[in-house]
């Protein structure tokens, strides 16, 4: 059987923004992995710690919203962080369905030691702080535009 010819308007993989962002995310995660391993957390756990460092005492739902993930994804991450002593969980006495998550002293200490991730990314990227900040703003603007223009029936 003969294979169909490729379309003349095929966009090469390296010219596709989605692939560039995807492969860059993989490269960043590979850069972070040995550092996170040394700290004893995974990247998703680090994101939870970062969300709590920004606003401690968040509910599972609020963490999920902040990280654009489902609460069912956050719950096991928080449980593992709690077992490691980095966070504590308490049911909200006013609403038993809500679980509030807070950093422990050990969690705050771990987060304080995670600055090596930013330093390593900066050093290995060869970019200046201003260049990385500008790039981050562009990516955030793209994400915002895509989220804002998405159909309501998600």
Say if 100 falls within a structural domain: yes
Q: Would you state the pLDDT for residue 95?
A: 86
The torsion angle over the Cα atoms of residues 64, 134, 149 and 18, rounded to 10 degrees, is: -80
The pLDDT of 146-153, averaged and rounded, is: 85
Name the residue among 134, 124, 128 with its Cα closest to residue 24: 124
- Tell me the CATH number at 68: 1.10.10.10
Look at residue 6 and tell me whether its pLDDT is greater than 70: no
Q: Would you state the pLDDT for residue 137?
A: 98
Say if 48 falls within a structural domain: yes
Cα(91)–Cα(73) distance, integer angstroms: 18
Q: Would you state the pLDDT for residue 28?
A: 97
The pLDDT of 89-115, averaged and rounded, is: 93
Say if 101 falls within a structural domain: yes
Say if 106 falls within a structural domain: yes
Q: Which of 2-6, 80-84, 133-137 comes out lowest in average pLDDT?
A: 2-6
Cα(147)–Cα(43) distance, integer angstroms: 23
Say if 44 falls within a structural domain: yes
88 close to 102: Cβ distance less than 8 angstroms: yes
Q: Kindly report, residue by residue over 18-68, the tens digit of the pLDDT.
A: 999 999 999 999 999 999 999 999 999 999 999 999 999 999 999 999 999
Say if 152 falls within a structural domain: no
Q: Kindly report, residue by residue over 102-111, the tens digit of the pLDDT.
A: 999 999 999 9
Say if 47 falls within a structural domain: yes
Q: Would you state the pLDDT for residue 5?
A: 62
107 close to 86: Cβ distance less than 8 angstroms: yes
Give the confidence band of 93 by pLDDT, cuts at 50, 70, 90: confident
The pLDDT of 99-125, averaged and rounded, is: 96
Say if 83 falls within a structural domain: yes
The pLDDT of 87-113, averaged and rounded, is: 93
Q: Would you state the pLDDT for residue 96?
A: 85
Q: Give the residue numbers spanning the domain of 18.
A: 13-113
Query: What percentage of the chain exceeds 70 in pLDDT?
Result: 94
Domain count, the chain: 1
């Amino acid at each position: 059987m003969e294979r169909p010819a490729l379309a003349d308007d095929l966009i090469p993989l390296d010219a596709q923004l989605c692939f560039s962002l995807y492969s860059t995310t993989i490269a960043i995660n590979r850069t972070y992995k040995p550092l996170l391993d040394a700290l004893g957390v995974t990247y998703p756990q680090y994101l939870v710690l970062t969300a709590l460092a920004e606003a401690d005492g968040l509910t599972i739902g609020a963490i999920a919203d902040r990280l654009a993930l489902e609460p069912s994804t956050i719950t096991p991450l928080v449980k593992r962080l709690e077992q490691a002593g980095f966070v504590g969980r308490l049911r909200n006495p006013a609403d038993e369905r809500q679980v509030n998550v807070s950093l422990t002293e050990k969690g705050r200490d771990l987060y304080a030691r995670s600055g090596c991730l930013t330093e390593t990314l900066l050093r290995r990227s060869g970019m200046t702080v201003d260049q990385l900040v500008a790039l981050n703003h562009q990516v955030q603007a793209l994400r915002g535009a895509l989220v804002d223009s998405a159909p309501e029936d998600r």
